[in-house]
C-alpha cells in the first residue's frame, strides 16, 4: 500500500526523525553566501555576507547579513548549525567556527540570484520583499534548494515563516564571549552547569527551544526588553497563574515538529492526536491569562487561536488511541465516514458469524471436539480429529490434512471469509485515504498552528523566567541607566553550586573602568562574569540575580579571559591573548561591556605591565567602554590616580591571627591562616597573599620567610617603581 523509494537523504542538518533529534533543541542547516564582488550595482555596501538557516524539523527559517565577514561568522556561530552549506566565493569561513558542524558541498548553480529567487518564490509570493539584499537572497534560496533536495525534492510547505533580521538588533556575543560566559557550554573539565541550565525550567520543547534562541540573541531595543520584563514581572507576582500555565504547557507536544511532519505528509494518526491534545490546552492557557495586565501577555493571549475547526476535525476523524501504522486500519473514528462504517459493520458481522460457528457446528454435527480456526495460509477452517471423521457432514470440503485431524470448510464459511476479508481490505484502504485527507486538511492550517506554537513557546519562556526569578530571588533590572550599578549581585550559575554565595555590589557609573586585584581563588573571575551575565540576562528580558540593578543597554559584551596554556608546543597563548585584545580595542564602543582577565601574562612583566597600562588608557581615553579588568599587576593600580574614570577594586582576604614567629610556622600547620571572603572592596589589594598561599601549600618555611623579606624590600622601594610606571 505504501510506495517505497529513496525519498529522503539524512544529513546532520536536515534530520527530521524524532529519534535522531534531541527534544528541546534546534537543529539548523545553515548556508553562507557572499554577494558577488563584481556586482558593482550592489548599492547597499553593508550587506555583502549573508547567513541563512533552516530547522527542517520545525520549518523555522532565518536569514541575515552583514558587511563584515567576521560579523556574519558571529551570526553563524550563534545559530550553532549542525551543517553548513557554503556558497561559491563565500567569504565567510566556517572553519573558524566553534563546534563540529559538518561542511557540505552543494550545486553552485542554486546560488545564482535568479535560481535562488525562483526557489524562494515557492515559499513566499514576493521573494525580494523578504530578503534584504542579493547575498541574503542567494543564501536563503540555495539553502531551501538544499533542504528540498535532502527531503526528496519536494517543496517544504511548512517553511512558511522566513524571518529576516538585522544583526544589529541583537546584543553582540561572539564565540569567545559565548564560550567564556558559559551560556550553553561549561568550560570546566567536568561538564558543569551553564546559564541555560539554570534558566531552563521550561514546560515543553517549544519553550526550551525559544529560551535557547532568546539567550543566544539578547535584545538591544529597550522597548522590546521592557515588554518582556513587564510580562515576567506580572507573572512573578501571580504564582497561581504561573503554576497553572506550567501545568497546562506540560501537556504541549512539540507542535512545531508535529506540524512540519504533517506538512511533509509523514505524520501518523498518533501525531494528529498529539496535535489535538496540544490544541486542547489552548483554551486553558487563555483562561489562565484572562486577568493579564501587561501588553505582552495580552497580545500573546489574543494571538492564541483556539483552532476549533482543526481540533474538531481531528477529534471526529481520528481514533482516540490509534496504532502507529496508518495503513492497517483502526485510525479513523467510527461515525466519521458512512461507507467506512458500513464496511466495518460487514466485517464485524462476518467475524461474529464465524465466532458463533463453532458452537453451532458442534451442535449440528454432535462432534464436541470440533473447533473453528484460522491461519494465514489456508484461511478459516473447521477442524475435526481423526476419531470423529465419520461424523463429518456432507457439506464439509477437505482443506488440509494434519497428523491427527482434518480441516474442512463449508460453502457458507468460504463466502463469509471472502466477505470479511474483502470488507476489511477495502476498509483499511479507505481509512488510509480518509487519513490522508484529514492530514492534508490539517496541513492546510499549518501557518495558524505554527503561530499558536509560537505564542505557546513565548508564554512558556516568560513563565519560566518568572519562576526562575522567584525561586532564585532575582530582581527586575532597570534599563536605560547611564552606567552599571548593581546592588548585591550574584553569579547565577555559581550561586547554585555553593552553599553560601557572597553577593557583591558593582558601581561602574562614575568610574566606568575598574581594575580588579586580589589573589587567585578570591573571586575575581566569578565577579567579572557575574556582571556580564546580569547584563545579558537583563537584555534577554529576565530578572537578574541581585538586590537591585540599574543597567545601560549594552551593544556588545567582549571577553578576554584566562585561556589555557598550550603547553604542547608551538602555539602561543600570548599571541592569542593579543589577538583577542586587538578585537576588543578595535571594535568596542562606549556602549560595550569589556571583561579583561589578565592581559599581558605571557610575556615579560615589564612588557606585560606596559601593554596592560596602555590598554587601560586606550579604553579609558579613546573608547569609553564599561570595563572590568582583573590583573596581577598591582603596579597597574596606580593608573587610577591619573585617570578620573578608573577605579580600583580588590577582593579581600582575611588573615587569621598568628603568633610573632610566623616565619617559623611548620609546614601544613598554616592552613587556616588565610580565608577567602569572596568580597569585593574599593581600592587596590596590597597584602602579599601569594606568599601566604605558598605557605599553605607547604613550601619550606625558609623559602616563605625569604619571600616575605623580598616582598617587604620591594614594597619599601615601591614608590620609585610606581612612579616610573606612571611617568
Restricting to residues 461-490, name those near its own copies by CB under 8 A.
Answer: none
* Dihedral class, residue 105 (left if φ above 0, else alpha if ψ from -120 to 50, else beta): beta
Q: Which is nearer to its own copies, 188 or 440 (CB)?
A: 188
Among 65, 458, 467, 525, binds its own copies (CB under 8 A): 525
Q: Which is nearer to its own copies, 35 or 494 (CB)?
A: 494
727 binds its own copies (CB under 8 A): yes
Specify the pairing of strand 548-551 against strand 484-489.
antiparallel
How many residues make contact with its own copies (CB under 8 A)? 91
Alpha-carbon span 410 to 402, nearest angstrom: 18
C-alpha dist (Å) from residue 268 to 152, 318, 453: 19, 10, 19
573 binds its own copies (CB under 8 A): yes
Q: Which is nearer to its own copies, 384 or 646 (CB)?
A: 646
Alpha-carbon span 479 to 219, nearest angstrom: 12
688 binds its own copies (CB under 8 A): yes
CA Rg, the chain, in Å?
35
582 binds its own copies (CB under 8 A): yes
Q: Which is nearer to its own copies, 324 or 567 (CB)?
A: 567
Q: Which is nearer to its own copies, 24 or 624 (CB)?
A: 624
Site string for its own copies, 598-637 (x = CB under 8 A): --xxxxxxxxxxxx-xxx-xx---x---------xxxx--
What is the closest distance, in whole angstroms, from the C-beta atom of residue 14 to its own copies in the complex? 29
Alpha-carbon span 216 to 75, nearest angstrom: 10
**In the window 163-222, what residues touch its own copies (CB under 8 A)?**
180, 182, 186-189, 192
694 binds its own copies (CB under 8 A): yes
What is the closest distance, in whole angstroms, from the C-beta atom of residue 208 to its own copies in the complex? 23
360 binds its own copies (CB under 8 A): no
Q: Which is nearer to its own copies, 115 or 502 (CB)?
A: 502
Q: Does residue 483 contact residue 543 with C-beta atoms inside 8 Å?
A: no
Is 301 exposed, middle or buried, given 0-12, 13-18 or 19+ CB atoms closer than 10 A?
Answer: middle
Instruction: With contacts defined by CB under 8 A, name the span among 203-211, 383-391, 469-477, 693-701 that binds its own copies.
Output: 693-701
Please enumerate, as own/partner, the contacts of 208-213 that have beta carbons within 8 Å and a separation of 24 or more. 208/23, 208/24, 208/25, 208/460, 209/24, 209/25, 209/26, 209/58, 209/256, 209/457, 210/457, 210/458, 210/460, 210/461, 211/460, 211/461, 211/464, 212/24, 212/25, 212/26, 212/184, 213/26
Site string for its own copies, 485-514 (x = CB under 8 A): ---------x--x-----------------
Q: Which is nearer to its own copies, 450 or 631 (CB)?
A: 631
Among 4, 126, 403, 586, binds its own copies (CB under 8 A): 586
710 binds its own copies (CB under 8 A): yes
Site string for its own copies, 406-445 (x = CB under 8 A): ----------------------------------------
Q: Which is nearer to its own copies, 176 or 268 (CB)?
A: 176
Quickly tell me which residue has 483562561 as its cell. 287
**In the window 278-307, what residues touch its own copies (CB under 8 A)?**
none
564 binds its own copies (CB under 8 A): yes
Alpha-carbon span 139 to 85, nearest angstrom: 9
What is the closest distance, in whole angstroms, from the C-beta atom of residue 150 to its own copies in the complex? 31
SS (H, E, C) 248-309: HHCCCCCHHHHHHHHHCCCCCHHHHHHHHHHHHHHHHHHHHCCCCCCHHHHHHHHCCCCCHH
H or E segment and range at residue 531 = helix 524-540
Q: Tell which residue, 713, 715, 714, 708, has the closest CA to residue 661.
A: 708
Q: Does residue 107 contact residue 150 with C-beta atoms inside 8 Å?
A: no
What is the closest distance, in whole angstroms, from the C-beta atom of residue 709 to its own copies in the complex? 8
Q: Which is nearer to its own copies, 321 or 719 (CB)?
A: 719
568 binds its own copies (CB under 8 A): yes
Amino acid at each position: 500500500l505504501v510506495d517505497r523509494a529513496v525519498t529522503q537523504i539524512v544529513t546532520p542538518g536536515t534530520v527530521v526523525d524524532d529519534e535522531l533529534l534531541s527534544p528541546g533543541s534546534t537543529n539548523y542547516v545553515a548556508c553562507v553566501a557572499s554577494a558577488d564582488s563584481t556586482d558593482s550595482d550592489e548599492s547597499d555596501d553593508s550587506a555583502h555576507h549573508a547567513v541563512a538557516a533552516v530547522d527542517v524539523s520545525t520549518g523555522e527559517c532565518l536569514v541575515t547579513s552583514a558587511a563584515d565577514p567576521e560579523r556574519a561568522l558571529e551570526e553563524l556561530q550563534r545559530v550553532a548549525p549542525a551543517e553548513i552549506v557554503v556558497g561559491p566565493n563565500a567569504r565567510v569561513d566556517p572553519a573558524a567556527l566553534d563546534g563540529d558542524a559538518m561542511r557540505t558541498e552543494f550545486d553552485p548553480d542554486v546560488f545564482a540570484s535568479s535560481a535562488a529567487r525562483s526557489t524562494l518564490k515557492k515559499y513566499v509570493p514576493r521573494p525580494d520583499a523578504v530578503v534584504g539584499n542579493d547575498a541574503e537572497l542567494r543564501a536563503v534560496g540555495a539553502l531551501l534548494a538544499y533542504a528540498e533536495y535532502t527531503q526528496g525534492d519536494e517543496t517544504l510547505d511548512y517553511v512558511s515563516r522566513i524571518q529576516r533580521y538585522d544583526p544589529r538588533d541583537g546584543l553582540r556575543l561572539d564565540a569567545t564571549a559565548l564560550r567564556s560566559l558559559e551560556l550553553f557550554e561549561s568550560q570546566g573539565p567536568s561538564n558543569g552547569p551553564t546559564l541555560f541550565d539554570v534558566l531552563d525550567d521550561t514546560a515543553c520543547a517549544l519553550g526550551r527551544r525559544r529560551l535557547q534562541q532568546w539567550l543566544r540573541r539578547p535584545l538591544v531595543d529597550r522597548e522590546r526588553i521592557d515588554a518582556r520584563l513587564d510580562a515576567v514581572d506580572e507573572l512573578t507576582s501571580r504564582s497561581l497563574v504561573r503554576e497553572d500555565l506550567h501545568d497546562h504547557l506540560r501537556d504541549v507536544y512539540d507542535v512545531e515538529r508535529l506540524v512540519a511532519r504533517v506538512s511533509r505528509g509523514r505524520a501518523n494518526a498518533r501525531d494528529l492526536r498529539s496535535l489535538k491534545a496540544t490544541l486542547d490546552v489552548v483554551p486553558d492557557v487563555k483562561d489562565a491569562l484572562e486577568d493579564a495586565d501587561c501588553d505582552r501577555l495580552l497580545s500573546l493571549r489574543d494571538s492564541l487561536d483556539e483552532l476549533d475547526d482543526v481540533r474538531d476535525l481531528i477529534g471526529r476523524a481520528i481514533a482516540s488511541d490509534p496504532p502507529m501504522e496508518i495503513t492497517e486500519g483502526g485510525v479513523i473514528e467510527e461515525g466519521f465516514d458512512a461507507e467506512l462504517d458500513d464496511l466495518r459493520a460487514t466485517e464485524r458481522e462476518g467475524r461474529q458469524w464465524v465466532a458463533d460457528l463453532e458452537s453451532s457446528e458442534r451442535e449440528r454435527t454432535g462432534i464436541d471436539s470440533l473447533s473453528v480456526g484460522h491461519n494465514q495460509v489456508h484461511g478459516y477452517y473447521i477442524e475435526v480429529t481423526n476419531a470423529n471423521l465419520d461424523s463429518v457432514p456432507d457439506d464439509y470440503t477437505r482443506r488440509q490434512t494434519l497428523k491427527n485431524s482434518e480441516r474442512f470448510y463449508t460453502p457458507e464459511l468460504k463466502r463469509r471469509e471472502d466477505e470479511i476479508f474483502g470488507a476489511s481490505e477495502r476498509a483499511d484502504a479507505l481509512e488510509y485515504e480518509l487519513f490522508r485527507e484529514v492530514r492534508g486538511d490539517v496541513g492546510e492550517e499549518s501557518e495558524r498552528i505554527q503561530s499558536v506554537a509560537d505564542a505557546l513557546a513565548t508564554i512558556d519562556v516568560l513563565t519560566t523566567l518568572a519562576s526562575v526569578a522567584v525561586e532564585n530571588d532575582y530582581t527586575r533590572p532597570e534599563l536605560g541607566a547611564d552606567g552599571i550599578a548593581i546592588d548585591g549581585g550574584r553569579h547565577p550559575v555559581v550561586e547554585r553550586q555553593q552553599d553560601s554565595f557572597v553577593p557583591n555590589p558593582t558601581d561602574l557609573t562614575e568610574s566606568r573602568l575598574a581594575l580588579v586585584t586580589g589573589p587567585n581563588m578570591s573571586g575575581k573571575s566569578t565577579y567579572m562574569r557575574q556582571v556580564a551575565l546580569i547584563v545579558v540576562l537583563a537584555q534577554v528580558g529576565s530578572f537578574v540575580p541581585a538586590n537591585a540593578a540599574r543597567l545601560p543597554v549594552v551593544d556588545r559584551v567582549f571577553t578576554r579571559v584566562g585561556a589555557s596554556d598550550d603547553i604542547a608546543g608551538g602555539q602561543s597563548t600570548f599571541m592569542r591573548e593579543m589577538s583577542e585584545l586587538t578585537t576588543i580595542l578595535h571594535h568596542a564602543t562606549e556602549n560595550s561591556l569589556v571583561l579583561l582577565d589578565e592581559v599581558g601574562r605571557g610575556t615579560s612583566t615589564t612588557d606585560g605591565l606596559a601593554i596592560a597600562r596602555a590598554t587601560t588608557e586606550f579604553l579609558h581615553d579613546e573608547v569609553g567602554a564599561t570595563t572590568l579588568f582583573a590583573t596581577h599587576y598591582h603596579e597597574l593600580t596606580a593608573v587610577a590616580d591619573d585617570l578620573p574614570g578608573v577605579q580600583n577594586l580588590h577582593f579581600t582576604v582575611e588573615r587569621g591571627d598568628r603568633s610573632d614567629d610566623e616565619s617559623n610556622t611548620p609546614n601544613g600547620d598554616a592552613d587556616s591562616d588565610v580565608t577567602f571572603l569572596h568580597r569585593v572592596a574599593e581600592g587596590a589589594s596590597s597584602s602579599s597573599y601569594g606568599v601566604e598561599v605558598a605557605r599553605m601549600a607547604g613550601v619550606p618555611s625558609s623559602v616563605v620567610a625569604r619571600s616575605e623579606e623580598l616582598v617587604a624590600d620591594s614594597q619599601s622601594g615601591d614608590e620609585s617603581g610606581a612612579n616610573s610606571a606612571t611617568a
